[in-house]
Structure 1
Amino acid sequence: MNTQKVVFLNKKLGTRMAGLLRIPTDFNLSRNYPAIVVTGPMLSIKEQAQSVYAERLTEAGYVTLVFDGTTTGESEGQPRGLELPDMKEDDIESAVDYLESLPYVDKDRIGGLGICGSGSYMSVAGVKDARLKAITAIVPAISDISKSPMMGFFKPEEEVIAAKKAYEEGKGDLQYLNFMPRNFDEGAAYYYTSRGNRRGYSSLVVSWSQLELQLELVKYNVPEIMKDMTKPYLVVTAENAWSKPASEEVFNAVPEGDKTMVVIPEAGHFDMYDLDPYVAEAFTSILPFFKRTLGTVE
């Protein structure tokens, strides 16, 4: 395959975004290709889990795009390390904008695949953006944030509000939360080893991001949004994933129709980022799903 560094614009935020565009080996400019936007876990960068999935999809004939989210990795945006659902939606929409601009991409055959936190973000994008024709969510982890292990990373709300106010008034430095401390054994086994340790990755998120994340049930209620999902939808979770309850809640909120949930036996949440046989087993469902919903190269 051909992997190209690309830059595209988040029009709503005015930020330039860094991406990796992958094109199949037998690329023919005269043909029309289906394309898939692939997004990764919270705070992740384009070289991590999302590229594992993008490479396999491109090997199967799809044009794929991964990118660093606004304020993350090589993309623009300040302050660095914000994790805001609305911003993530804008990023996904901007990625679709970019794919639509490519003359060899079939605008009617663009899909999305999201992993972990962006499994939920991508699911919501599938409801809101008519241009996305089919969605796959891998261990989607955001439903009711109050029940998530991430709550253990949060600081007292009044402390975070005070820190945000002080920073905005120029009276204090940025404060961060560590979303992947080394004592979180399962996550550390990915992020702090050769599996997922990549230059440019940081586990630090601006502390007031939690104010938005804690409002999920009010402002960004994923199950409530998913009640309006009408597109083909595939959820792949893992038998031993800490995120499995959230994945099931998001999936069950989708009306009956073209929806499928697959549970990978013996796998844990982070196993689904990059480890075989678990990822390979997931692709026995992912590829038939996208072949049926987006087709193949024409």
Structure 2
Amino acid sequence: MIQRMVFSVGGDSVVGDLHLPDEGATGSVVVVAGPMTSVKEQVTGVYAAALAARGIAALAIDHRTYGQSGGAPQNYENWRWKVEDLAAALDALAVDVPGIDPNRLGAAAICLGCGYAATLAAGDARIRSLGLVAGYYRDPKAMRANDPEGFDARVAQGRQARLHYESTGEVLSIPAAALEGDAAMQTADTVDYYTQRAAVPNYRNAFAIMSREHFLPFDVQIAAPRIQVPVHMVHSEKALSPNWARAFYDALPGPKSLEWLISRGQTDFYDDADLISASADQLAQHFKATL
């Protein structure tokens, strides 16, 4: 069962799909956060459906400026906005869905969504449990140290694009995923996923350049020491930055567990049936024990 939800954040509509177990909403529920630029018909919807099939109600949303949701500029990857959207989703779930217990709210996440969910959990006591899959646990200090001039230049490019938007209303954009030219994601793995395997009608392969002002400095690692709730992590040596996953896990002060699976890379966590099943089994077991 899928229940359409629409709620408001900052005057803009946010559209989501609440995936329900056969028995409906029965107390606990999780909001699902996903990769940069993604929409609810892609990986978040896949995991929400997998969790619902295992008895956990789960909400996948189109963040503001993406998919069916409102907001401007389009395709703006602003981590603060995304965390606000997830917090508003908790409000909507607690108020609008009969059978939901507001004291049994959690978050599941995949890729960069792990950073959004972790940041939310670090500052919002309503999140009682986290389940994180193939997280992109960004460490911008390390990224900048590796290429100071390039890092600073891209941040400055984002700032200039924002100023251009504010003065002209024009959104300067590049592809979200492409192998040639400038793009937000430039690996064969991500390009194949976003331009072929997950090229759903609701998705636009675009990235507002002004996103780089906020996206590049987004530090996921700093959230870990502030998270007190139980956390279960799933990762792979072939997924994004396994060393950053270890560092994030080591910094978690509360109850925690980490399971390593075998993957070909990062995006097979998004649509490989066996890998999704194995990850969802672990998340469902974790949430049933902690929510």
Q: TM-score, normalised by structure 1?
A: 0.86
Structure number with higher helix proportion:
2
- What is the Cα-based RMSD across aligned positions, in Å? 2.3
Instruction: Give 1:182 deviation, angstroms.
Output: 4.2
SS in 1 for 2:7: strand
> Following the alignment from structure 1 to structure 2, what is the Cα–Cα distance between the partners of residues 142 and 84?
16
The aligned counterpart of 1:186 is: 189
Q: How does 1:261-280 map to 2 (within 5 A)?
A: 261-280=258-277
> Following the alignment from structure 2 to structure 1, what is the Cα–Cα distance between the partners of residues 195 and 141?
26
Task: Give the residue type in structure 2 aligned to 1:188.
Answer: V
Contact 1:163–1:175 under 8 Å retained in 2: yes
Instruction: Give 1:56 deviation, angstroms.
Output: 1.2
> Following the alignment from structure 2 to structure 1, what is the Cα–Cα distance between the partners of residues 69 and 134?
25
SS in 2 for 1:277: helix
Contact 1:137–1:234 under 8 Å retained in 2: yes
Instruction: Give 1:139 deviation, angstroms.
Output: 1.3
The aligned counterpart of 1:227 is: 225
> Following the alignment from structure 1 to structure 2, what is the Cα–Cα distance between the partners of residues 293 and 14?
34
Residue 161 of structure 1, aligned match among 145, 159, 162: 159
User: Cα deviations across residues 239-286 of structure 1 (Å, max 9, x unaligned)?
Assistant: 21133233222222212x311111112442111112032222223321
| % identity of equivalent residues | 27
The aligned counterpart of 1:287 is: 284
Structure-2 change in CA distance of 1:142 and 1:283 (3 Å): same
Give the stretch that moved more between structures: 17-26 or 152-161: 152-161
Contact 2:134–2:240 under 8 Å retained in 1: no
Gapped regions of structure 1 (runs ≥ 5) = none
The aligned counterpart of 2:29 is: 35
The aligned counterpart of 2:47 is: 53
User: Cα deviations across residues 219-256 of structure 1 (Å, max 9, x unaligned)?
Assistant: xx32222111110001111121133233222222212x
The aligned counterpart of 1:213 is: 215
Gapped regions of structure 2 (runs ≥ 5) = 181-186
Structure-2 change in CA distance of 1:4 and 1:177 (3 Å): same
> Following the alignment from structure 2 to structure 1, what is the Cα–Cα distance between the partners of residues 154 and 282?
42
SS in 2 for 1:135: strand
Instruction: Give 1:156 deviation, angstroms.
Output: 4.1
> Following the alignment from structure 1 to structure 2, what is the Cα–Cα distance between the partners of residues 117 and 266?
18
Structure-2 change in CA distance of 1:158 and 1:37 (3 Å): closer
The aligned counterpart of 1:112 is: 107
Instruction: Give 1:147 deviation, angstroms.
Output: 5.3
Structure-2 change in CA distance of 1:128 and 1:181 (3 Å): same
Contact 1:238–1:272 under 8 Å retained in 2: no
Residue 63 of structure 1, aligned match among 46, 57, 61: 57
Is 2:171 the partner of 1:177? no
Task: Give the residue type in structure 2 aligned to 1:278.
Answer: L
Instruction: Give 1:146 deviation, angstroms.
Output: 6.1
Structure-2 change in CA distance of 1:16 and 1:153 (3 Å): farther
Structure-2 change in CA distance of 1:262 and 1:132 (3 Å): same
User: Cα deviations across residues 77-129 of structure 1 (Å, max 9, x unaligned)?
Assistant: 01101111110110000110011012210111111001111111101111111
> Following the alignment from structure 1 to structure 2, what is the Cα–Cα distance between the partners of residues 81 and 52?
21
Is 2:198 the partner of 1:196? yes
Task: Give the residue type in structure 2 aligned to 1:17.
Answer: V
> Following the alignment from structure 2 to structure 1, what is the Cα–Cα distance between the partners of residues 165 and 284?
47
Instruction: Give 1:63 deviation, angstroms.
Output: 1.8
> Following the alignment from structure 1 to structure 2, what is the Cα–Cα distance between the partners of residues 160 and 22?
36
The aligned counterpart of 1:133 is: 128
Is 2:68 the partner of 1:80? no
SS in 1 for 2:31: strand
Structure-2 change in CA distance of 1:92 and 1:157 (3 Å): closer
Task: Give the residue type in structure 1 aligned to 2:7.
Answer: F
> Following the alignment from structure 2 to structure 1, what is the Cα–Cα distance between the partners of residues 98 and 165?
44
